[in-house]
Structure 1
Amino acid sequence: MNPSQATHRSAASNADASTIYRTRRDPDASATVSVIRAVAEVEDVTPGDLPVLGDVIDPEALDGVFEDGQRVGRSNARLSFDYCGYTVTVTEDVVTLDIR
């Protein structure tokens, strides 16, 4: 991930002290892949080292919220869930990790 795509934030340096990472979603990647990549980046591990995402959220349902054919009427969709000690928020364009 290049620096123009991701922003690391320290709690002391911004008004929203709980946000520690925010990245633009790759338009060619699913929401599930975007979440796994973001958490792996913050945790400094490979995606395979992370716990199974399916233990906390249905990956097919997550992807379905943001798929092109499923977005009609959902242009402002936002989905949040807890994973790996973070509150993960996914929108059509961004993945944000907040400290729980």
Structure 2
Amino acid sequence: MAIATTSSDADAPTLYRTRHEPDGSEPISRSIYTALAAVEGVAPSDLDVRLYDCVDVEAIEDLYRTSADSEWEFAFTVERYAVRVRADGTIAVSSAE
């Protein structure tokens, strides 16, 4: 399950960073999958993680859609990775170990 973390976890070296395109047709969860897949070195369709098992994906989607003008950061863990999503669409993946 997802664990909300404080910004002190941001000290871990970033393995992958990207920015979700706010005007695109893809949901931000797709960008999160793409970032995790890039770290694993596989295609998103081959990623052996179900994001829904780790975090409330709809909550992230709602937060991103309704709070884009705010400053916020949502952090959670997916297996051995820490994922940080920011209001500006920045997605950063680092090691949670």
TM over 0.5: yes
Runs of 4 or more, structure 1, over 6 Å off, are: none
TM-score (norm 2): 0.74
Query: What is residue 9 of structure 1 aligned with on the other side?
Result: none
Partner Cα distance (1:66, 1:17) in 2: 24
Correspondence for 2:43 among 42, 46, 51 = 46
Deviation readout 1:71-95 (Å, 9 max, x if unpaired) = 17x6112100001411000012200
Deviation readout 1:45-70 (Å, 9 max, x if unpaired) = 12122211000011111111101xx2
Higher relative contact order (CA 8 A, sep 6+): 2
Q: 1:94 to 1:47 in 2, by over 3 A?
A: same
Partner Cα distance (2:67, 2:56) in 1: 18
Amino acid at match of 2:37: A
Larger of the two Rg values belongs to structure: 1
Task: Extract unaligned runs of 5+ from structure 1.
Answer: 1-15
What percentage of aligned pairs have identical amino acids? 33
Amino acid at match of 2:45: G
TM-score (norm 1): 0.72
Alignment of 1:1-100 (within 5 A): 18-27=13-22, 28=24, 29-50=26-47, 51-67=49-65, 70-71=66-67, 75-92=70-87, 93-100=89-96
Amino acid at match of 1:80: A
Cα drift, residue 17 of structure 1: 5.2
